[in-house]
Amino acid sequence: MLDIRFVRQNPEIVKENIRKKFQDEKLPLVDEVIELDEKLRSAKNRGDELRKIRNDVSREIGGYMKAGEKDKAEEAKKKVAEIADELEALEKQEEECQAELTKRMMVIPNIIDPSVPIGPDDSHNVEIEKFGDPVVPPYEVPYHTDIMESLDGIDIDSARRTSGNGFYYLKGDIARLHSSILSYARDFMIGKGFTYFIPPFMIHGDVVKGVMSFAEMENMMYKIEGEDLYLIGTSEHSMVGRYIGQLLDKEELPQTLTSYSPCFRKEVGAHGIEERGVYRIHQFEKQEMVVICEPEDSPMWFDRLWQNTVEFFRTLDIPVRTLECCSGDLADLKVKSLDVEAWSPRQQKYFEVGSCSNLGDAQARRLQIRVRDKENGNYFPHTLNNTCVAPPRMLIAFLENNLQEDGSVNIPVVLRPYMGGQEKLVPKK
């Protein structure tokens, strides 16, 4: 959410930003916000004026009563009553204006970074750099669930009976591989100096509204019926929400956190969940990175975060590339975002395995997370998040890139201690 003072002083900048995000239907919101802001400030000023008059008249009543001037006292009391009626009407007007103002401000997109490429959708995202050599082996690479089934490591049919499409059972070596990757990711991030968390997997509605846009909320979040609780779509939601309403000391920044959680997503608009695959699913697990920092440090942390993901994947012998997300592909709260994509030898193309985002002060402003500054006044920190790894989607890249001609799968050296010393997985079917 933008600062109302910024919108008030820079309406054309806000409108141009909306155009860059190809959301022209939101342009009228800017003028509506300015009009509501004027009404709100006018009502507040009139209210302050009336309160001063009421206080003055109230003091006069005491003087009249002492002087025995009851008629003047009664007239003054009538005036106080009239002021009270007008104040009540003004307070109701303020409340209504504030609600309408906030409603509109919550859907006006954040100001994107000048470096963001302009384009309407993800087809206009820009490749930045490749890491590792993408290899297409001289033998066929099967579909990822076929590889898992050959290792007796997945049961989707049973999951479909218990839960429907978009769910899975992992078992045996694949289940162990899944857990090993997450354990390795945990230790990898701790080694980078991040503090490890396991957060709540459900959060209140005010936290949800603070960490994401309404469109994301509608398309992603599962709500617990009859309760003010939502299942998290990523641990970023509860990790940033941890600071709701808090006043932080400057010495406490940066907060560098890494968190494990299951993630739950409705995947609305996904055009049907694959029945056989585990690429787009309703439930998965993830190791996340979250940073809360000084505003001037967020570009530096943005680069550090995506570089951590690239390094992590390269230690597992998986080629990756980075893509700069264009303006139309950015969620409304994001200032800048970069996707990390892994190489798929079977498809002979890259696919998304993680996303790094700088949200500026948008989440902090919505959640009222402030940094204490006695000299210059309190201010909002910046928040960033990034995926370290999210299996089982990451398993697709892992299995395809480490698959051997005989159907076995090599285990990279860094992962072997988590796999009981195994050097490869051998087909069972």
Fold equal for 4-105 and 122-425: no
CA distance 363 to 370: 11
Neighbours of 114 (CB within 10 A): 6
What are the φ and ψ backbone dihedral angles of 417, each rounded to 5 degrees? -60, -30
Tell me the three state secondary structure of residue 191: helix
Q: Identify the CATH assignment for 122-425 out of 3.30.930.10, 3.90.76.10, 3.30.70.20, 3.40.50.1110.
A: 3.30.930.10
> Quick one: pLDDT at residue 272?
53
Residue-wise burial string across 249-272, b where 16 or more C-beta atoms lie within 10 A, e elsewhere? eeeebbbbbbbbbebbbbeeeeee
Token pair of 76, please? 């003054």
Considering the entire predicted model, what is its pTM? 0.89
Class of domain 4-105: mainly alpha
Tell me how long the chain is: 429
Segment 86-136, tens digit of pLDDT: 888 888 999 999 999 999 999 999 999 999 999 999 999 999 999 999 999
> Residue 56: which pLDDT band, with cuts at 50, 70 and 90?
confident
Segment 352-409, tens digit of pLDDT: 999 999 999 999 999 999 999 988 899 999 999 999 999 888 999 999 999 999 999 9
CA distance 429 to 424: 15
CA distance 330 to 241: 21
Give yes or no for residue 334 having a pLDDT over 60.
Answer: yes
Across residues 186-212, what is the average pLDDT? Answer: 96
Across residues 54-76, what is the average pLDDT? Answer: 80
- Report whether the peptide linkage leading into residue 392 is cis, meaning its omega lies within 30 degrees of zero: yes
Q: Where are the domains of the chain?
A: 4-105, 122-425
Positive or negative, the CA dihedral 296, 300, 301, 302 is: positive
Give how far the C-alpha of residue 120 lies from the chain's centroid of Cα atoms, to the nearest Å: 21
Across residues 135-141, what is the average pLDDT? Answer: 94
Pairing of β 230-231 and β 255-264:
unpaired
Closest residue by Cα to residue 361 from 383, 389, 331: 383
- Residue-averaged pLDDT of the chain: 93
Across residues 144-173, what is the average pLDDT? Answer: 94
> Quick one: pLDDT at residue 274?
59
Give yes or no for residue 277 having a pLDDT over 70.
Answer: yes
Across residues 264-276, what is the average pLDDT? Answer: 66
> Residue 270: which pLDDT band, with cuts at 50, 70 and 90?
low
> Residue 73: which pLDDT band, with cuts at 50, 70 and 90?
confident
CA distance 270 to 279: 11
Give yes or no for residue 273 having a pLDDT over 60.
Answer: no
> Quick one: pLDDT at residue 77?
84
Segment 231-256, tens digit of pLDDT: 999 999 999 999 999 999 999 999 99
Show the beta-strand stretches assigned E in 20-162: 126-131, 154-155
Give yes or no for residue 168 having a pLDDT over 80.
Answer: yes
Q: Which residue has the tokens 């003054």?
A: 76
